[in-house]
Structures are given as C-alpha cells and as structure tokens.
Amino acid sequence: MLIKLTGGTVYDPASGIDGQQQDIYVQDGRIIDAPKDGRPVDKEYDLRGKVVMSGAIDMHTHIGGGKGNIARTLLPEDHRQDPVHRTPITRSGNGHAMPSTYVAGYRYAEMGYTACFEPAVLPINARQAHMEMGDTPIVDKGGYVMLGSDDFLLRMMTANKDQKAINDYVAWTLNAAKGIGIKVVNAGGINAFKFNQRKLDLDEKNSHYDVTPRQILQTLAKAVQELGITHPLHVHGCNLGVPGNLETTLNTIEGIDGLPMHLTHIQFHSYGKEGDFKFSSGAAQIAEAINNNKNITADVGQILFGQTVTASGDNMRQHANHRFASPNKWVCMDIECDAGCGVVPFKYKDQNFVNALQWAIGLEIFLLVEDPWRIFLTTDHPNGAPFTSYPHLIRLLMDRSFRNDMLATIHPEAQKMTTLASIEREYTLNEIAIMTRAGAARIIGLKDRGALSAGNWADITVYTENSDRQTMFTKPDYVFKDGELVVKDGEVVKVTWGTTHIVKPDYDLSIEKDLKPYFDKYLTMKLGNFKISDDEISEDGRGSLTAHPLRGAA
C-alpha cells in the first residue's frame, strides 16, 4: 500500500528540516522518496496545518524487570483510581505510577511514542525483563544490561585481568542478555552494600574487592568504546540524592578521561550544600561541565509533583531513603551475586523545600545545557514522575511564562535558591524533536529510526499546532508505527508489536571456560539457562529482533 501524508509542517532534525511543509510517502512500512512513475496513492492524509515529527523515543524508562512487578504488588491502591480523572476503576493494570505492560504500551503510543528503552536489565533476570517488554504493545523496546556490581566482574578486576578479558565478558553478557548498551548503577556500591557498607564514594574502595567506583567506570567505559557499542556507558553515579553530590558528579566527568559517558537522571546528582537548609542547586556547574566536555551526554530525570514510586537497582541509596516512604512501606532486596533492588513509594510536594528545589534544578539543567543533541527528556519513570507527565514537562520547557507561573507557587525558600526565573530560554519545536527523537536515536545507535528521510521505518507522529504545548503533545492526531496507523485522535485503533533492538559484539568463546565453573559454584541458574536465544523473544509472534551494527561497521 502506498500512503501519502500531504502538506504537514515537518520537524526532522536528523535531515536538517526545521518546520518546512512537505509530503511524506510510505510503502511497506518504510518512508520512500516521492514516486516518479505516477503510481496512484492508496491512502492519503491531509496534514496541512499539522506538525509532523518522527515517533518519539524514550531512552530511559523503567518498563521491564522485577522491580516493576514489586512496585505493582506493593501499591495495589495505585491501580484503583483512574490517573486522569481520579475516579475509581476496577480493572487491574491501570496504575498511575507503574501501569501494567499492556497499559504502558497504550499510553506511550497515545502520546506519540514509538520506542522505549529499559535502562536496568539485570542479566540474571533478563529473560523476565524481555518477557515484560514483549508484552508491551506497539512500541519498540530495548535494554541496557547492568554491570558494575556483579561479582564476576569484581573478581576479574581484583585478579588484575587485562582489558581484553573484561571486554570479552562484557560482550558475552550483552549477547546473552540481549541488550543494546551497558548500564552501571552506583558502581560497586550495590555489591558493597552486601558487605555492610552504607555509602561508597567515587574513590572509596569496596571493602571486600578493594576496587573503587572510578576504576569500575573507567574499565567498563573502555570496554564499551573498544567493542564499538554506539551507546556510551550509561551511568547512574555514586551518591544519588545526597546533598553535596555535585562534586562527585564533576569528579566522575573529569575522571572518565575523555571516554564517552552518558550520565543518567543527572538532576539527582546535581546538589550542593549551601544555604540554611544545607541543600542547594548545582545545576549551573553541572551544565557548564556538560557544555565543556563533548564526550558527556545526560538525561535529566525531572521530578514533577505528585505521587509516584521510586524503583531502582541502587539498594544502597534506596535503603537510605526508605524513611521518606509515602505511603510508609518499602522493599529492599539482594539479587544473587549480581545486584540488588529497592522500591520506595514517594510523593513529591511543591511546598516541601527539597522537592521544590529538585524541580527547579532539573529545569535549570534542561535550560542551561546548550546542545539539545546531548541532553534528553526523561523523568526516570517512575522515579521522578510517571512518563505520562511528559507533555506537562514539554510545556515547562517551551513556555517561559507558564514556567514562571509554576515557579511562583512552590516553596518560597526554594524560589530564592534558584535562578530559574532569570533564564529566558524557551525550547523550540525543533529542539524538542532533537531531544525526544533524532538525538535519542543517534545516541542509542538506531540506524533507521528517529528520522523521516527515505529508508527509515515509518514511525511518524502528527500533532495539531497549539500554543498550549501540553495539550498539543498529550493527544496526537495520528501515530504511525512501521507505516501502520495505530493511534487516531489520541486513542489506539490498532495493536501491533514492535521490534527489540540489540547489539551483538564479538567475543572470545573461551570466556565460558571460566564462567561455567563460576555459575556452577555460586549461582542458582546454570550457564545455559542464563543465555537467551533469539527465538525466545520472537517465537510467540509478538515482535522481532533487530541487531544494529557496531560503531564503524557497515
């Protein structure tokens, strides 16, 4: 079928198109050049007066893995109320903070999103994570595989294994767990927590393995670089949420020695200790460091006010924060020799000084980082806020007057501690398209997504132009996924199943000679069961696998 999208105002930064009116042709799921043979169009959509972008990509959202199920179980009350109308509901899965897999796919698609990436796939739990993502309809999926506190890596580093051996282990893990990148959560800290350490700074040694977080980050960043993985090492740094962690973050940037590194939910790592409350914004210093270090990218992890749940592999910090749980219940657990998990419900309040300043810090970072190709729109769903709050966040970035009106309502002392009111910048539609589409596709390594040029898959979102950007981005007119109309007027009209994006770096097969006895001695899962086969993801017809080339490969 030949589809023509006629006369839309296109924002396609990957192709250098900034608000130009043009036609788009789609055939067999992909965008094609305008036919020159006079073929008749099978279906035409008149998009004159509409805004056209590629499908949005959430490069960091917790939509798969054990912690999500724990959060759903811990908060049954979250599934008893419609999140929009606040009316009682009876169906399970409709949670506000952590909806079910099926509902998550619907809500993402209904906002114009066509791909989502789970940032914390624990290798030993990867099969379950992929099953959850495989049950999330319409959107493409992918995952960053967690390393950095796993016992095997720390043993290798303690034994002074060479970089090549560690690269083989990283590549083997990516292949076994079917990931597209490598994630580090509080490098070494999750493991240190098992040995009763309750904090671990960047240059503090793990008491059992005698290695520091800095050494772990440098080792894994080199592995990612040398293996040719496009997505930089995805780093959840030390001291999350701790006043003064600004210095840790700046030292982390400096200490990576110029290697590519992505700092995730950077808002939670940008705190000073100034002022009467010993809590202040470090956004200006963090933004300056990102601006000056082209090897660094970041997503923000914006907090927005209201009820949510924090779910993280960083059980060291989650244990420290459990006393703030709201409602007052929480879970913290170890997971074999690999990692941990903490789930703590939380309600952000605009009249709480710390929460209010956190809100301002995130916005300051968004507005002070100059290059939209290196900063990404996230709330660290659900940790800062549910992903359904993205349209509201986009309005805050695009509408200074609205932003300042909101600023005037928060805790008065927090207003005094932020420069937000003086920042004049307003994001443009092209910058939003970079941050949520083109830039996200580029940093993840998606070669044929995030753009509207010929050859790309036809993931396309159409909006009605509206000065109220929250309204505009809440309810698209049309969403096409792989060329099929899946959303019309903000409601799903067809269910499809997206692909799972992975990379397959090469490695020396002899790594398994060391891994097999380790698995047999220390883990409850055998080596053969640990590895996920390709057909496990695609065998039920709900999707496929797409392996992307490594950096520099054809």
| Predicted local distance difference test score (pLDDT) of residue 538 | 84
Angle formed at CA 57 by CA 56 and CA 60, multiple of 5 degrees = 145
The span from the CA of 449 to the CA of 460, in Å, is: 10
| Predicted local distance difference test score (pLDDT) of residue 521 | 96
pTM of the model: 0.96
| Predicted local distance difference test score (pLDDT) of residue 87 | 55
Q: Residue 298 is which amino acid?
A: A
Place of tokens 């980082």: 369
Write the Ramachandran bin of 138: left for phi over 0, alpha for psi from -120 to 50, otherwise beta: left
| Predicted local distance difference test score (pLDDT) of residue 38 | 81
Question: Diameter of the chain by CA atoms?
Answer: 72
DSSP 438: I
* Residue 208 tokens, joined: 């059992």
The span from the CA of 363 to the CA of 267, in Å, is: 9
Of residues 422, 302, 316, 315, the one with CA closest to residue 360:
302
- Below-50 pLDDT ranges, the chain: 554
| Predicted local distance difference test score (pLDDT) of residue 336 | 83
Q: Kindly list the distances between the CA atom of residue 412 and the CA atoms of 363, 366, 393, 512, 519, in Å, as whole numbers in the listed order.
A: 17, 22, 21, 59, 55
DSSP states along 402-431: HHHHHHTTS-HHHHHT--GGG------HHH
The span from the CA of 139 to the CA of 482, in Å, is: 10
| Predicted local distance difference test score (pLDDT) of residue 554 | 43
Q: What are phi and psi of 372, to 5 degrees?
A: -65, -15
Of residues 58, 62, 146, 73, the one with CA closest to residue 345:
73
Of residues 330, 325, 315, 318, the one with CA closest to residue 73:
330
Q: Residue 359 is which amino acid?
A: W
pLDDT tens-place string over residues 254-298: 999 999 999 999 999 999 999 999 999 999 999 999 999 999 999
Place of tokens 């800062």: 384
